[in-house]
């Protein structure tokens, strides 16, 4: 096993998460119960902008973001014969979720080399009478062009689902990512800005949709085991075809603690990204770094860049590994995977940048010295 001098990602859990997990074990109740309720309430509250006149946000905790996306599309009654427009430059789960409900993913391109989010003009060009929704993914926690996409959705009667895996507590024009479309989906996978190991959250301001999402999360049942244990219900009905997409109490307890730390860890990520920008500008100014120059409160989930056209990415990754530096790729476009060969994709900008994408280490405990080392190592790898 390689021991990385600078790993791509490092988990940061503390005494707070330990105590929270232990207290759930001591409580003797592990499945969906009071900690889930607390996590949902605090997550919804964290996503509200003070003074907002919008309907209150509801949050529904689930097993991971993949099922969050599946649940969102199922609750919006998207199914066979429908098309959903999404990026190809995303994690495969974004597109898989569309297929789980029997609908067809239609890949749209990103805006440019500098902005790796859905291009509203290409989205518009791909709308057909079958299109039912746009599934956006806020790459790196940087906001998609939600105003233009919202206008398109309104004009064509489409729903918007936001894959906000990269951007919990990120904002766009005074609104939190994930709360702008019809449904927002979040991931708490181990390497995300906040984690529960495996975990996810669905949010919506539509009370009817929230009710459906809650029911669908747990088999379509009208009462949970916890409610029956508490004597609040003695039986239950099953009102719709649901799933078991539940989160458990230990994860929820860890999530409550992680959420408290998120404003600080997001801020730290922002500082580290600024530091990367400074070193890249000084040492390898020719490199394209997407979203450079954007200012705001974003997710800063990853630090991707574009390698020069003439270099072989695998060789750069191997050379950086020789320096003890782990790197990653976000992402191989979904339409290039074997399982997606039957889906046509006209995404020239995505195709042009795909072989050049490289993500450098980024996590809150990374230091500025190490960032300098990463950039200097990258420079020397590119020069040789």
Q: Which residues are catalytic?
A: 192
Residue 60 or 375 with smaller CB distance to ligand PLP: 60
Binding region for ligand PLP (CB under 6 A) out of 1-9, 86-94, 255-263, 362-370: 86-94
- Cβ distance 186 to 64 under 8 Å? no
Distance CA 354, CA 351 (A): 5
Residue 362 in the binding site for ligand PLP (CB under 6 A):
no
Return d(Cα 61, Cα 209) in angstroms, integer. Answer: 14
CA distance 69 to 94: 7
Least distance in Å: CB of 185 to ligand PLP?
7
Closer residue to ligand PLP in complex, CB, 94/224:
94
In angstroms, the Cα distances linking 154 to 105, 134, 139, 182, 316 are 20, 11, 23, 12, 45
> What burial class does residue 104 get, using C-beta atoms within 10 Å of its C-beta: 0-12 exposed, 13-18 middle, 19+ buried?
middle
Q: Which is nearer to ligand PLP, 90 or 377 (CB)?
A: 90
Interface pick for ligand PLP out of 39, 91, 298, 300 (rule CB under 6 A): 91
For ligand PLP, which is the closer residue by CB, 94 or 172? 94
DSSP 144: P
| Residues in contact with ligand PLP, shown as a per-residue x/- string from 60 to 79 under the rule CB under 6 A | ----xxx-------------
Least distance between ligand PLP and beta carbon 193 (Å): 11
Subset of residues 109 to 138 that bind ligand PLP, contact rule: CB under 6 A: 137
x/- binding map, residues 286-325, to ligand PLP, per CB under 6 A?
----------------------------------------
Q: Which structure tokens are listed for 373?
A: 């080392």
Bond before 232 cis per omega within 30 degrees: no
Q: Which residue among 17, 73, 84, 90 contacts ligand PLP (CB under 6 A)? A: 90
The least CB distance from residue 231 to ligand PLP, in Å, is 34
Nearer to ligand PLP, 163 or 248 (CB): 163
Cα 113 to its chain centre, rounded Å, is 21
Residue in the structure block whose two tokens are 């747990």: 218
Q: Give the chain's count of helices (H) and strands (E).
A: 12, 11
Task: Kindly identify the residues of this chain, within the stretch 187-216, that bind ligand PLP according to CB under 6 A.
Answer: 187, 189, 200
Using CB under 6 A as the binding criterion, the count of chain residues that bind ligand PLP stands at: 14
Q: Which stretch binds ligand PLP (CB under 6 A): 5-13, 162-170, 249-257, 365-373?
A: 162-170
Measured from the CB atom, the residue of 117 and 377 that comes closer to ligand PLP is 117
Work out which of 165, 196, 326, 377 binds ligand PLP, going by CB under 6 A.
165
| Nearer residue to ligand PLP within complex by CB, 163 or 249 | 163
Q: Are 331 and 170 in contact (CB under 8 A)?
A: no
**Looking at residue 6, what DSSP letter applies?**
B
Report the distance separating Cα 81 and Cα 61, nearest Å. Answer: 29
Which of 59, 60, 73, 93 touches ligand PLP by CB under 6 A? 93
Is residue 249 within 8 A of residue 348, CB to CB? The reply is: no
| In the complex, minimum distance from the CB of residue 38 to ligand PLP, in angstroms, rounded to a whole number | 20
Q: Please tell me whether residue 79 adopts helix, strand or coil conformation.
A: coil
Cβ contact 101:341 at 8 Å: no
Site for ligand PLP, rule CB under 6 A: 64-66, 90-91, 93-94, 137, 163, 165-166, 187, 189, 200
């Amino acid at each position: 096993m390689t021991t990385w001098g600078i790993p791509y990602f490092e988990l940061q859990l503390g005494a707070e998460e330990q105590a929270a997990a232990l207290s759930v074990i001591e409580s003797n109740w592990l499945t969906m119960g009071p900690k889930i309720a607390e996590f949902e309430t605090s997550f919804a509250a964290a996503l509200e902008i003070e003074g907002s006149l919008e309907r209150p946000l509801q949050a529904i905790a689930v097993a991971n973001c993949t099922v969050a996306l599946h649940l969102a599309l199922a609750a919006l009654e998207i199914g066979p014969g429908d098309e959903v427009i999404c990026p190809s430059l995303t994690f495969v789960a974004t597109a898989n979720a569309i297929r789980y409900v029997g609908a067809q993913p239609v890949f749209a391109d990103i805006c440019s080399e500098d902005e790796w989010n859905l291009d509203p003009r290409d989205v518009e060009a791909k709308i057909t009478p079958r299109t039912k929704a746009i599934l956006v993914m806020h790459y790196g926690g940087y906001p998609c062009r939600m105003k233009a996409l919202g206008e398109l959705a309104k004009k064509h009667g489409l729903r918007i689902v936001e894959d906000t895996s990269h951007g919990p507590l990120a904002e766009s024009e005074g609104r939190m990512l994930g709360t702008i479309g019809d449904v927002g989906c979040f991931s708490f996978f181990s390497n995300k800005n906040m984690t529960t190991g495996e975990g996810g959250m669905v949010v919506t301001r539509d009370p009817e949709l929230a009710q459906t999402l809650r029911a669908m999360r747990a088999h379509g049942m009208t009462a949970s085991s916890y409610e029956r244990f508490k004597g609040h219900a003695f039986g239950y009905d099953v009102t719709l075809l649901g799933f078991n997409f539940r989160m458990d109490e230990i994860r929820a307890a860890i999530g409550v603690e992680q959420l408290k730390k998120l404003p600080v860890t997001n801020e730290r990520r922002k500082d580290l990204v600024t530091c990367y920008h400074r070193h890249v500008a000084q040492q390898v100014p020719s490199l394209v770094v997407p979203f450079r120059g954007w200012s705001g409160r974003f997710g800063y989930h990853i630090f991707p860049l574009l390698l020069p056209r003439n270099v072989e990415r695998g060789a750069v990754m191997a050379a950086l590994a020789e320096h003890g530096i782990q790197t990653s790729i976000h992402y191989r476009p979904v339409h290039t995977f074997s399982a997606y060969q039957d889906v046509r994709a006209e995404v020239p900008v995505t195709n042009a940048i795909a072989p050049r994408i490289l993500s450098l280490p980024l996590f809150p405990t990374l230091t500025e010295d190490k960032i300098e080392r990463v950039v200097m190592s990258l420079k020397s790898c590119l020069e040789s």
